[in-house]
Amino acid sequence: MDEPKKSIALISTGGTIEKTYDELKGVLDNRASVLDVMLAGLQLAIDIVRVPLMNKDSLEMSAQDHDLIARTSGEMAGAHDGVVIIHGTDRLAVTGERIVTLLQRPRVPVVLTGAMRPYVMRNTDALQNLTEALLAVQLLAPGVYVAMHNRVLQFPGVVKDQDLGTFVRAGGTRPGGRQP
């Protein structure tokens, strides 16, 4: 007998993953979500409940924005089998830590992800990271995580390594065994 499909809340907050090119201004900008296009190209055996919360570059997020994301993820964790949060990478760790502070240990996995390069770029990591997060949220124990670049790290204690362009454990070793 087939298992029922899992229900995953997908909270979108913007960030590089969702930036599109504004030809009038000549810049990449958070104007419209591209998540529906990304999801349409995947073969998913889960039910996605889209929660478009905001569409901001994470460098523009305030403490109130981080709190809103944390509260919303808690609400969604109470009603779904998992939560994936699409977030800008520059302040993703701030939100992850805020979720841990607010929720302690959520009832289900909460997985944050983003991209170093927008989905609309040819050499993007966006679709890989989204796919990894959607798989991770189905397999992980309850907790708060980041899933990117073929790695999953659990909060607290996750930071963005600017030199490597990925996330690492705070004070830990970098991929390949090097010290930060």
The token duo for 151 is: 């790695």
The token duo for 129 is: 């990271």
| Residue 35 confidence (pLDDT) above 60 | yes
Contact 128, 151 (CB under 8 A): no
Distance (Å, whole) CA 103 – CA 80:
15
| Residue 144 confidence (pLDDT) above 90 | yes
Q: Which residue type sits at 48?
A: I
Confidence band for 17, pLDDT divided at 50, 70 and 90: confident
pLDDT for the residue numbered 33: 66
Contact 11, 84 (CB under 8 A): yes
| Residue 30 confidence (pLDDT) above 70 | no
Collapse the DSSP code of 4 into the 3-class scheme (helix H, G, I; strand E, B; otherwise coil) and give the result: coil
| Residue 32 confidence (pLDDT) above 70 | no
Q: Which domains does the chain show, CATH number per domain?
A: 6-169 (3.40.50.1170)
Confidence band for 24, pLDDT divided at 50, 70 and 90: low
Q: What is the pTM of this model?
A: 0.88
Contact 47, 7 (CB under 8 A): yes
